[in-house]
Amino acid sequence: MTQPSPPDHSRIQRPWGWYETIAEAPGFKIKRIGVHPGQQLSLQKHRHRTEHWVVVQGTAHVTLDDRRFDLTMGQACDIALGQVHRLTNPTTLAVEIVEVQFGDDLREDDIIRLSDDYGRLCTPDLD
């Protein structure tokens, strides 16, 4: 069995908050993600990975395709390959999740942005 690489815990800043990689090995990656109050990630999907989100702080508003719902501490959701998704923090308190990614390509450029509040390039859907 392949041992996970040692975590580097370097916090990467984004306009909506931050993330840091906790562990990574072939086939999976684990991240902590913090979303500032009133901010949201881009509406996106992935070609090469599925994700599992667990809320560890605050209340996250989640979009999965045409469904919208809230998750609180200890609650989780699964994001299927190609599923349109977004995490929003509509509250005045920080939201933090643990994200577990599974797939054969876990690079950051496996993000197809359909909508983004921060002017980042939205990748056209090539399907």
List the beta strands (DSSP E) in 15-123.
17-25, 28-35, 43-45, 49-57, 59-64, 67-72, 76-79, 85-88, 95-103, 112-115
Mean pLDDT score, 4-28: 85
* Mean pLDDT for the chain overall: 89
Q: How many CB atoms lie within 10 A of CB 114?
A: 15
CATH code of the region 16-110: 2.60.120.10
Q: Is the pLDDT of residue 4 over 60?
A: no
Mean pLDDT score, 1-12: 64
Mean pLDDT score, 44-58: 96
pLDDT, tens digit (0-9, with 9 covering 90-100), for 89-118: 999 999 999 999 999 989 888 888 887 787
Q: What percent of the chain has pLDDT over 70?
A: 87
Length of the chain: 127
State the pTM of this model: 0.86
- pLDDT the model gives residue 112: 84
